[in-house]
Amino acid sequence: MMDSSVKIINEWDIVAARQLGRNVAKELGFGTVDQARITTAISELARNIYLYAGQGEITIEKIESGTKKGMTIISRDAGPGIPDLRKVMEDGFSTSGGLGAGLPGVKRLMDEFSIESTPGEGTLIQSVKWLK
Amino acid sequence: MSFRDTMLDEYKEILKTYINDQTEQALYMSQKFSRKSIEYKISPEEMISLHKTSIMELAPDLPESLLLSLDILLEVMMSYGLAYREHQSLRTIQRELINEIEVAANMQQTLLGTQIPHISSVDIGAISVPAKQMSGDYYHFVSHENGAVSVAIADIIGKGIPAALCMSMIKYSMDSMPENSHTPGDVLERLNRVVEQNVDPTMFITMFSGLYNPGNHTFYYSSAGHEPGFYYNGETGAFEELKAKGLLLGVDKKAKYREYERKVEVGDAILLMSDGVTECRTKDGFIEIDTLVGYIEKYIHLGAQDIADKVYKELEFLQDFQLRDDFTLIIIKRTA
Amino acid sequence: MNISIDVQERDHQTTITLAGEIDAYTAPKLREAAFPYTEKQHANVVIDLSGVTYMDSTGLGVFVGLFKSLNANEGTLELNGLSDRLKRLFDITGLADIMNINPKAEGGI
């Protein structure tokens, strides 16, 4: 499996992560709408790292399952973690302002979504988009 | 075939019609199309993509710059799409909440239900209308073994669900009150201690507690900061405030409640109300006590329940049928 | 349905001047604005109500809350400039007996 990562330290790294995601999405044959959805999800995740964790990493993986093809976005940081996961997954809670943004937005844009977070240790988010 | 399968053709048709001859008809068709696409949950970014695909087929020689500009538009619409989807999901949640409140309101009605007692020589009527779904007003009757009737009317400061929860607590402490302690002052002192201990410090309750003894036709009463009731003198036609001093429930656990009494003759009446009655506002200002007394006077010859219903109708009309506060009115009329 | 809340702090005394209506919609604003001043030890809070045109029971609840909070922190509360209607509200509820309440001065100062 090919995979590649972008370290997120400053705001410009968000652009690099988007670019990486878009290239992979294009290669896999995602249409323009799905490309935009995938890059928006990457943007949100990278922005969260930049704003709340200080630094972290976005990894893009191509995946296969039976005849299905798709990609996984992995967001990993060693930031303060999220004390109340249920709250951040609630609509209308986003603290970074902006309607519909935040993790619920990412979940909606992608097909699969999982999150693990330990206060004081960091957060790991994995989300998958399948090619239809 | 579903809308998703046919929407590209439909959209292309509309676009073609409009490009050929800019008719209002085509614009109207596009409005109808957008209603349908919302119904089928087509997101804004999908619409841009649909537009781009359509226009590329209809006009293959469009300048590259125009097509590229649509990529930017699509990206910009992403956040709108997310906001839109969040809105949809919040709407669902809102609908669920409204349903829950409706169920709770029905439960409250059942929970707080009280029977108007029937005793000879006294006619009793009561009406209570909440301003919102959940009422902050409460009234309760208890018939005692010796024939006497206890009446309590309370107003929870603070409205809605918190007030309703608070009221359930009052209701249960009233129900568990021993049969030998139903004098109005006692009732208030006991409740005051319960409220002081259990209720949020910013929540308070006013209550008027009364006891009608048909043995000597005397009405005993105490007030915990509640709007004074009225005594109607059937002989002279005069109204008099049932003045009673006493602190709100829940402010000071050592508060004492003085008991007052009033002899009731045939044709006299006792009127109790919540402050929704005297605090109700019309577009021209407040309803004055005189106005209220005027209405009661107008209907005093009727049965107790009729008086309550009619007075409510008049006040509702005065407020353009928009109640700003819960409304409760109790009439106790001696008939023989 | 609006309220204006003006707060001035001088010589260990907080003066809050209110104007408008105090009802279910504006009461939370008032509570939020005034509450922090009641939580200091030995605070003296004076509230001028001469500009208040309407107050319902929710508003009254705020004043009881402020009163309780000041009592707990050994502070004092003074309410000034009450109209007849407002005065009546404090009288009926028995609060006039336990709070320091001054009706609107006749003819003004």
N- to C-terminal Cα separation, chain C:
29
This model of the complex carries an ipTM of 0.84
B144 domain-assigned: yes
B160 domain-assigned: yes
Contact by Cβ (8 Å): B257, B188: yes
Q: Which two tokens stand for residue B283?
A: 């577009």
**Can you give the pLDDT at residue B133?**
66
The domain of B32 spans: 3-93
Neighbours of A95 (CB within 10 A): 11
B11 shares a domain with B146: no
Which CATH number do you get for residue A97? Answer: 3.30.565.10
Task: Tell whether C21 lies on the interface with B, counting CB pairs under 8 A.
Answer: no
Q: Which two tokens stand for residue B43?
A: 């997101």
Provide the b/e sequence for B306-324 (b: ≥16 CB within 10 Å). ebbbbbbebbeebbeeebb
Task: Tell whether C62 lies on the interface with B, counting CB pairs under 8 A.
Answer: yes
**Domains held by chain A: number:** 1
**Can you give the pLDDT at residue A97?**
53
**Domains held by chain B: number:** 2
Q: State the Cα–Cα distance between residues B194 and B173, nearest whole angstrom.
A: 8
Q: State the Cα–Cα distance between residues C49 and C61, nearest whole angstrom.
A: 15
Mutate to test the interface with C, among B155, B161, B204, B277 (most CBs of C within 10 A): B204
Which CATH number do you get for residue B203? Answer: 3.60.40.10
Q: Has residue B204 got a pLDDT over 90?
A: no
Mean pLDDT, range B156-176, rounded to an integer: 77
Among B64-68, B154-158, B326-330, C78-82, whose mean pLDDT is lowest?
Answer: B154-158
Q: Has residue B221 got a pLDDT over 50?
A: yes
Residues B299-334: tens digit of each pLDDT = 888 898 998 898 888 888 877 666 666 788 899 999
**Can you give the pLDDT at residue B124?**
93
**Can you give the pLDDT at residue B182?**
75
Q: State the Cα–Cα distance between residues C96 and B247, nearest whole angstrom.
A: 9
Query: Which residues in chain C have their CB less than 8 angstroms from residue B279's CB?
Result: 56-57
Q: Which two tokens stand for residue A74?
A: 């992995």
**Can you give the pLDDT at residue B323?**
62
Contact by Cβ (8 Å): B181, B224: no
SS3 content of chain B, % helix, strand, coil (to 5): 45, 20, 30
- Residue C82 pairs with which residues in a beta bridge? C103
Contact by Cβ (8 Å): B319, B284: no
Q: Which two tokens stand for residue B109?
A: 């009605």
Task: Tell whether B289 lies on the interface with C, counting CB pairs under 8 A.
Answer: no
Domain boundary among B35, B63, B93: B93
User: By percentage, how much of chain B surpasses pLDDT 70?
Assistant: 90
Among B127-136, B310-319, C47-56, C88-97, whose mean pLDDT is lowest?
Answer: B127-136
Query: In this complex, how many residue pairs, one in chain B and one in chain C, have their CB atoms less than 8 Å apart?
Result: 58
Domain borders along chain C are 3-103
B124 shares a domain with B59: no
The domain of A71 spans: 3-130
CATH C-level class of C3-103: alpha beta
Query: Among C71, C75, C80, which Cα is nearest to C101's?
Result: C80
Instruction: Collapse the DSSP code of A81 into the 3-class scheme (helix H, G, I; strand E, B; otherwise coil) and give the result.
Output: coil
Report strand pairing: A68-77 vs A3-8.
unpaired
Banded model confidence at residue C109, pLDDT cuts 50, 70, 90: very low
